[in-house]
């Protein structure tokens, strides 16, 4: 856990530095007319948001290793909100710079727009730095995913929903090493068999369904006053916040296609069958990490 966290910290700094340099240089290109806001139709905004959501997906995986974090009720929610705030600000500034440098031509550079921006401002060296930074950024995403997501497989196996082997812990590092290997294999198979755009849309529908269930759970948990050790983290507004979030998630889901719903529905059906099987069988003994 500690080694993985340090790796992510180093990669985060390495991927942010080129972007901050790009923003600092690009702000000199920004003019007042670039700050004008134009509104698209709600339907176009919803469709674009389904793809844009991928830029923010993954923040929830910080909850997966929270059992290995000191004072998670305090540190994890604050880290999530801080990360969302910084990420949103960074994306807005990058888009502003890209729009200022490329203008209407921004829409034609769909593969690597920031590399084109860096090339026009800083020359070939700038383009190379941004491309390398993009590779480092992807490595950081994969490292964070490998650190957090396998903990979900471990939890499912610990509770008897998946084979018990996925709940095995490494004798030295106390990490769910089998779950990590299985997760990496599944991710490799999906990445090898599907295009990036298709995988983004399919994953976004699944994530939105998960977000919707979490919002509903937050309302019910507040109603029952369920909490662990110490007072839970609470936002002002009470149940209004998760209720509004449910409305937003449902609006986003209304822009998904039938194919995306079919794939997500198939996965949910498998999950329901596993849950029903567990209810009929004896639960496995819990395996707590050291």
Span 1-47, pLDDT tens digits: 567 667 777 888 888 888 898 899 888 888 877 777 777 788 888 88
Residue 232 has pLDDT above 60, yes or no: yes
Cite the DSSP H helix spans in the chain: 2-26, 42-52, 72-102, 113-148, 150-158, 177-193, 196-224, 240-253, 258-280
- Three-class HEC string of 151-183: HHHHHHHHCCCCCHHHHCCCCCCCCCHHHHHHH
Q: Is the pTM of this model over 0.75?
A: no
Span 121-176, pLDDT tens digits: 888 988 898 888 888 888 877 877 887 788 888 988 888 778 888 999 988 888 89
């Amino acid at each position: 856990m500690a080694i993985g966290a340090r790796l992510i910290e180093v990669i985060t700094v390495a991927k942010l530095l080129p972007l901050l340099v790009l923003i600092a240089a690009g702000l000199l290109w920004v003019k007042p007319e670039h700050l004008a806001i134009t509104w698209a139709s709600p339907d176009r905004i919803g469709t674009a948001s389904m793809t844009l959501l991928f830029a923010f997906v993954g923040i929830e995986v910080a909850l997966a290793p929270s059992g290995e974090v000191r004072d998670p009720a305090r540190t994890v929610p604050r880290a999530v909100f801080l990360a969302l705030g910084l990420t949103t600000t960074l994306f807005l500034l990058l888009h502003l710079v890209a729009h200022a440098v490329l203008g209407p031509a921004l829409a034609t550079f769909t593969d690597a727009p920031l590399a084109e921006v860096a090339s026009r401002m800083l020359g070939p060296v700038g383009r190379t730095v941004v491309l390398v930074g993009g590779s480092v950024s992807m490595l950081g995403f994969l490292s964070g995913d490998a650190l957090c997501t396998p903990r979900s497989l471990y939890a499912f196996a610990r509770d008897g929903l998946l084979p018990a082997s996925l709940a095995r812990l490494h004798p030295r590092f106390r990490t769910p090493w089998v779950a990590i290997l299985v997760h990496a294999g599944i991710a490799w198979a999906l990445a090898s068999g599907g295009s990036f755009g298709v995988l983004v849309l399919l994953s976004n529908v699944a994530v939105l369904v998960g977000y919707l269930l979490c919002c509903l759970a937050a309302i019910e948990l507040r109603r029952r006053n369920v909490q662990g050790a110490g007072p839970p983290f609470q936002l002002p507004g009470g149940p209004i916040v998760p209720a509004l979030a449910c409305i937003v998630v449902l609006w986003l889901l209304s822009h998904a296609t039938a194919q995306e719903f079919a794939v997500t529905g198939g996965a949910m059906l498998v999950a329901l069958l596993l849950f029903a099987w567990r209810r009929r069988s004896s639960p496995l003994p819990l395996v707590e990490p050291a």
